[in-house]
Amino acid sequence: MTHWLTSTNHKSIGILYMMTTLLFFGIAGILSLVIRLQLARPDQNIVGPHAYNQIFTLHGTAMIFLVIAPFAFGLGNYLVPLQIGAPDMAYPRLNLFGVYLFMISGFTIFAGVFAQGGAAASGWTAYAPLSTIQAGTGAGQDLWCIGIMLNAIATITVAINFAATILLYRAPGMTMWRMPIFTWEILATALLILMAFPSLSVAMAELLLSRHYGAHFFDPQYGGNVVLYQHLFWFFGHPEVYVMILPYFGVISEVVAVFSQKPLYGYVGMVLSAFAIAGLSMGVWAHHMFTTGVVANGFFSGMSFLIAIPTGVKYWNWIGTMWRGRLRLTTPMLFAIGFLSNFLIGGITGVMVASPPIDYHVEDSYFLIAHFHYTLGGGALFAVFAAVYFWMPKMFGIKLNELLGKINFWLFFIGFNVTFIPWFFMGIEGMPRRVFTYPAMGDLPWLNAVSSVGAGIMTLGVIAFLLNVAFSKLESKVREPLANDPWGGGFSLEWATSCPPPEFNFHALPPIRSERPVWDMMHPELAELRS
């Protein structure tokens, strides 16, 4: 235990990140079950409005700031040095500082539960002036603001570390254009963080100053402007969406290529599209504000549409990778295909809500939150599972059971779609987000009931996962230790060292002549042809 908390080794820090995010994922998941229980039928009062408002605030905050983004930081911490043939991250002590700060940020936010008046209850977006007026928001809101600020600083430290490590610590022969695609996506993510997160810290500082020191940034009575907060928040918030998805694009690219037994199709296009997405995402923030009536809707709509093009390139290349391949439908590959299926719905509905005439109807409705649950839940979360199944053998020397893995996948995949497909129709019918109850109107009652059943099926999927971990851990004790490349056919350097790797990762490195050195080593005759 002390080892995990004090080691500056990138692998133990990576695991500390991921374990912490799994803890918060458990909490956020239980909160979402309370939400689905409350909404299973109209006019219920299982939890009242005050509790409900805290619950959805904490659910959103935890999933965004404490689960989906930081899991990618943990995974990146573990994999990036291995993939580029480095012994550790560039700044190991900054790295440990960052993970501490991240953990403290999570505990600070949740400490609000014990504050008078309860935890923060103004949504994960904390729009001013709702979040600055004192009535109904006490110390819980302050703890939330402080926690988010610490989280932003932690995130910036990890981004600096990624950028420095990737740019300066690559092994001899590992040129930029030979880096694995996951490492490229992490580099794009790191640059995006450095551009976007300072704005979040500023927004939090201004909230705190408004709440306690009479600053009037957002108070129209004193010349402030309520929309200013939305600009500051979404200038961070939209890039954050891509911080939460670019690393997982990397995961999916690795998994699809390895299990298609073919090199990633359109590698250069994949890299360029990651940076195109990162760049464009800095110029679309006000598409969250189409209904405010005070932003240039046309500009932000057009910029948002453009993101469909690099994202389309990625889909094109994933399909190109599978095309004429030899697909091994292992559990990580199933989760990757689940990602392709779900994220497609998230992406297409994303183009719809990028059009103001459509957004005027569905902004802040269940249609909108269905859209982003398809990108972050159906997308990022499926990629988290793909990553866990794919790299667990490397990290712990434990290969998860394939049968339980497939049960896990199908329960989670079916449950996910049963939960979230109804939301699109609920939104079109007029159900707004963030309501603790709804009238028995039109199709809302049965759509909500179906959605709650889906949440139950998803829960069974998670239980299958936990059983799988427990079972596979026991099984690993009576099994032969795993080979360096337990899946067979791995591409990048993490598969050239033991499971788990030694303290400084490698005793010897294979020659690096392409973006898949381990594959070249196993197929010398083909590697010759290429070079």
Partner 1 sequence: MHPASVQAQDLAGVWYIFGGAALFVAAFVYGLILYSIVRWRERATDTGIPPQFTRNPSIEITGVVIPLIIVIGLFYITYVREGVVDFLKPNPYVTVNVTAYRWSWQFRYAGHPVVVNGNVHSPPTLVLPLGKMTQFNLYSDDVVHAFWIPSFLFKRDANPGIANHFDVTPTQTGLFHGLCAEYCGLDHALMTFNVEVVPVGDFDRWMASGGQANP
Q: Which residue has the tokens 């010759």?
A: 528
Footprint (CB under 8 A) of partner 1, residues 341-380: 341, 344-345, 348-349, 351-352, 355-358, 360-361, 363-365
φ, ψ dihedrals at 326, nearest 5°: -130, 95
- State how far the alpha carbon of 262 is from the alpha carbons of 28, 319, 337, 487, in Å: 38, 12, 16, 14
Q: Which is nearer to partner 1, 27 or 351 (CB)?
A: 351
CB of 96 to partner 1, least distance (A): 38
How far, in Å, CA of 297 to CA of 353, rounded? 12
Residue 127 interacting with partner 1 (CB under 8 A):
yes
How far, in Å, CA of 254 to CA of 260, rounded? 10
How far, in Å, CA of 531 to CA of 7, rounded? 40
Which of 385, 359, 514 has its CA nearest to residue 461? 385
CB of 40 to partner 1, least distance (A): 15
How far, in Å, CA of 389 to CA of 49, rounded? 39
- The correct pick among 134, 175, 177, 220 for binding partner 1 (CB under 8 A) is 220
The residue range among 2-10, 69-77, 179-187, 335-343 that interacts with partner 1, by the rule CB under 8 A, is: 335-343
Q: Which is nearer to partner 1, 309 or 483 (CB)?
A: 309
Footprint (CB under 8 A) of partner 1, residues 179-198: none
CB of 346 to partner 1, least distance (A): 11
Q: Which is nearer to partner 1, 425 or 471 (CB)?
A: 425
Residue 496 DSSP code: G
Q: Which is nearer to partner 1, 341 or 476 (CB)?
A: 341
Q: Which is nearer to partner 1, 323 or 446 (CB)?
A: 323
Residue 524 interacting with partner 1 (CB under 8 A):
no
CB of 41 to partner 1, least distance (A): 14
Residue 329 interacting with partner 1 (CB under 8 A):
yes
Q: Which is nearer to partner 1, 7 or 355 (CB)?
A: 355
Beta bridge partners of 140: 119
- The correct pick among 164, 205, 209, 226 for binding partner 1 (CB under 8 A) is 226
Footprint (CB under 8 A) of partner 1, residues 265-284: 265-269
Footprint (CB under 8 A) of partner 1, residues 134-153: 136
Residues 6+ apart with CB under 8 A from 34: 46, 47, 55
Query: Helix H segments across 115-220?
Result: 139-168, 181-212
Residue 430 interacting with partner 1 (CB under 8 A):
yes
How far, in Å, CA of 187 to CA of 167, rounded? 9
Residue 526 interacting with partner 1 (CB under 8 A):
yes
Q: Which is nearer to partner 1, 103 or 270 (CB)?
A: 270
Footprint (CB under 8 A) of partner 1, residues 286-325: 291-294, 297-298, 301-302, 305-306, 308-309, 312-313, 315-317, 319-320, 322-325
Residue 435 interacting with partner 1 (CB under 8 A):
yes
φ, ψ dihedrals at 86, nearest 5°: -105, 155
CB of 277 to partner 1, least distance (A): 13
Q: Which is nearer to partner 1, 70 or 427 (CB)?
A: 427
Which of 313, 81, 277 has its CA nearest to residue 191? 277
The count of chain residues that interact with partner 1, using the rule CB under 8 A, is 86
Q: Which own/partner pairs from 307-312 qualify as long-range (CB within 8 Å, at least 24 positions apart)?
A: 307/277, 307/280, 307/281, 308/347, 308/350, 308/351, 309/276, 310/272, 310/273, 310/274, 310/276, 310/277, 310/280, 311/273, 311/277, 311/347
Q: Which is nearer to partner 1, 10 or 231 (CB)?
A: 231
For residues 107 and 101, is the Cβ–Cβ distance under 8 A? Answer: no
CB of 136 to partner 1, least distance (A): 6
Residue 176 interacting with partner 1 (CB under 8 A):
no
Query: Helix H segments across 39-91?
Result: 49-61, 69-83
Position 467: which residue type?
A: L
Q: Is 432 exposed, middle or buried (0-12, 13-18, 19+ CB in 10 A)?
A: middle
Q: Which is nearer to partner 1, 180 or 224 (CB)?
A: 224
> Angle at Cα 274 formed by Cα 270 and Cα 279, nearest 5°?
145
Footprint (CB under 8 A) of partner 1, residues 390-429: 428-429
Which of 385, 453, 386 has its CA nearest to residue 418? 453
CB of 248 to partner 1, least distance (A): 17
CB of 440 to partner 1, least distance (A): 12
Q: Which is nearer to partner 1, 439 or 511 (CB)?
A: 439
Q: What is the dihedral of CA 493, 499, 503, 505, to 10 degrees?
A: -10
Residue 470 interacting with partner 1 (CB under 8 A):
no
The residue range among 16-24, 333-341, 369-377, 391-399 that interacts with partner 1, by the rule CB under 8 A, is: 333-341
φ, ψ dihedrals at 131, nearest 5°: -85, -10
Q: Which is nearer to partner 1, 278 or 426 (CB)?
A: 426
Residue 49 interacting with partner 1 (CB under 8 A):
yes
Footprint (CB under 8 A) of partner 1, residues 249-268: 260-268
The residue range among 1-9, 84-92, 98-106, 218-226 that interacts with partner 1, by the rule CB under 8 A, is: 218-226
